[in-house]
């Protein structure tokens, strides 16, 4: 029997734009956070382990909520520190962690099988987990990864700007590159990045975007380790520099070391970047419950 894939949940952010610990803020009718719907979908889709990446100071809060799932699925916690040591590099004190690639890397010792990566505060839709589980079980390899592709214009917030990894793909739906666009918003009918900045530009609203929803072979850890060292060396005096997952993915594609298959999905995505996003998230979950996608109480037997 093959090893079940793992779901790696990135939950170390502080939620500065949200105004609180958004990862565990109640969204469902019984105060379920978005993470609970992710866990439910993962279990239904055949994932065998959940690994949370959190700040050490969040551990008790997370354990109090999520340890009850240990009877249904293996649950583990790993910590992403703000300040890390790197042999041979004198780094200045940091204001924030080293980014999403670093967040993936801290789970290296707990993951030896193909795995998915998601954000804790994003809802991806149940069908997307089945889509990615199928890829991880049947296609994932040392040189073949995946990204679940959403449509950019369907992932914007009405309450502020967002950051997105905008994808360009070839005829085989393999990634050519991922460009991290920041401060994206609607403006006069267009989708623009660099909103209200000197580097503002227009981007196709129908582009595929990576919502930080990836399928990886564990070989990715060695690549991130090498890339992170180089990034830290180049940015050792930058207190806010971050090494994003699209950085390492793009490097691997450009060097010919890996291909990344984009898995298009029609699933609904929503997130809670801003406090004002919560009302839409609550309404979206209630709509899915009314459509019998989810039970009113997720864990009723």
Asked if the model's pLDDT at residue 134 lies above 90, the reply is yes
Instruction: Tell me the mean pLDDT in the region 88-111.
Output: 87
pLDDT-above-70 percentage for the chain: 95
Residue 2's pLDDT is what? Answer: 66
Instruction: Tell me the mean pLDDT in the region 213-224.
Output: 96
Residues in the chain, overall count: 301
The pLDDT tens digits of the residues spanning 6-28 come to 999 999 865 444 344 556 778 88
DSSP state of 141: B
Residue 22's pLDDT is what? Answer: 58
The CATH code belonging to domain 6-290 is 3.90.550.10
The domain segmentation of the chain, as residue ranges, is: 6-290
Residue 289's pLDDT is what? Answer: 94
Supply the Cα-derived Rg of the chain in whole angstroms.
19
Q: What is the pTM of this model?
A: 0.88
Instruction: Tell me the mean pLDDT in the region 205-221.
Output: 93
H-run or E-run covering 151: strand 144-151
> What's the rounded Cα separation, in Å, for the pair 195 and 199?
8
Asked if the model's pLDDT at residue 152 lies above 70, the reply is yes
> What's the rounded Cα separation, in Å, for the pair 101 and 81?
13
Nearest C-alpha neighbor of 195 from the set 168, 159, 167, 169: 159
Residue 284 neighbours by CB distance under 10 Å: 15
- Which token pair is 92? 């200045």
Residue 301's pLDDT is what? Answer: 52
Name the pLDDT band for 262 (thresholds 50, 70, 90): very high
> What's the rounded Cα separation, in Å, for the pair 10 and 232?
21
For residues 62 and 11, is the Cβ–Cβ distance under 8 A? Answer: yes
Asked if the model's pLDDT at residue 237 lies above 90, the reply is no
Residue 239's pLDDT is what? Answer: 81
**What residues pair up with 151 in beta bridges, in sequence order?**
208
Residue 176's pLDDT is what? Answer: 92
Asked if the model's pLDDT at residue 185 lies above 80, the reply is yes
**How far apart, in Å, are the Cα atoms of 52 and each of 44, 119, 192?**
18, 10, 33
Residue 5's pLDDT is what? Answer: 97
- CA-based max dimension of the chain: 57
* Of 45-49, 63-67, 86-90, 201-205, highest mean pLDDT: 45-49
- Report which of residues 7 and 159 the model is more confident about: 7
3-state secondary structure of 282: helix
Residue 1's pLDDT is what? Answer: 42
The pLDDT tens digits of the residues spanning 52-88 come to 999 888 899 889 888 888 999 999 999 998 787 777 7
Residue 42's pLDDT is what? Answer: 96
Q: How far apart are the first and last CA of the chain?
A: 27
For residues 62 and 52, is the Cβ–Cβ distance under 8 A? Answer: yes
The pLDDT tens digits of the residues spanning 103-112 come to 999 999 999 9
> What's the rounded Cα separation, in Å, for the pair 293 and 256?
40
Name the pLDDT band for 158 (thresholds 50, 70, 90): confident
Mean pLDDT of the chain: 88
Residue 17's pLDDT is what? Answer: 44
3-state secondary structure of 173: coil
**What residues pair up with 119 in beta bridges, in sequence order?**
10
H-run or E-run covering 64: helix 59-66
Instruction: Tell me the mean pLDDT in the region 38-44.
Output: 95
């Amino acid at each position: 029997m093959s090893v079940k894939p793992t779901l790696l949940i990135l939950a170390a952010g502080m939620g500065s734009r949200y105004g609180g610990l958004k990862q565990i803020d109640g969204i469902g009718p019984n105060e379920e956070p978005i993470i609970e719907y992710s866990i439910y979908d993962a279990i239904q889709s055949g994932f065998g382990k959940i690994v949370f990446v959190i700040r050490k100071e969040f551990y008790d809060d997370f354990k109090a909520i999520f340890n009850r799932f240990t009877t249904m699925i293996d649950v583990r916690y790993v910590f992403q520190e703000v300040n890390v040591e790197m042999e041979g590099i004198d780094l200045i004190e940091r204001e924030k962690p080293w980014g999403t690639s670093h967040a993936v890397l801290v789970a290296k010792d707990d993951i030896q099988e193909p795995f998915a990566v998601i954000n804790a505060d994003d809802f991806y839709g149940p069908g997307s987990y089945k889509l990615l589980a199928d890829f991880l079980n049947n296609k994932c390899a040392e040189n073949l990864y995946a990204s679940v592709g959403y449509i950019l214009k369907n992932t914007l917030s009405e309450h502020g700007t967002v950051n997105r990894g905008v994808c360009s793909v070839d005829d085989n739906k393999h990634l050519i590159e991922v460009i991290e666009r920041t401060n994206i918003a609607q403006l006069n009918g267009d989708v623009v990045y660099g909103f209200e900045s000197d580097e503002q530009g227009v981007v196709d609203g129908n582009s595929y975007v990576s919502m930080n929803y990836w399928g990886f072979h564990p070989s990715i850890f060695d690549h991130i380790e090498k890339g992170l060292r180089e990034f830290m060396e180049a940015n050792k005096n930058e207190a806010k520099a971050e090494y994003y997952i699209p950085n390492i993915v793009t490097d691997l594609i450009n060097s010919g070391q890996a291909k990344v298959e984009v898995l298009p999905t029609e699933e609904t995505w929503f997130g809670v970047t801003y406090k004002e996003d919560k009302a839409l998230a609550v309404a979206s979950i209630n709509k899915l419950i009314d459509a019998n996608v989810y039970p009113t109480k997720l864990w009723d037997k």
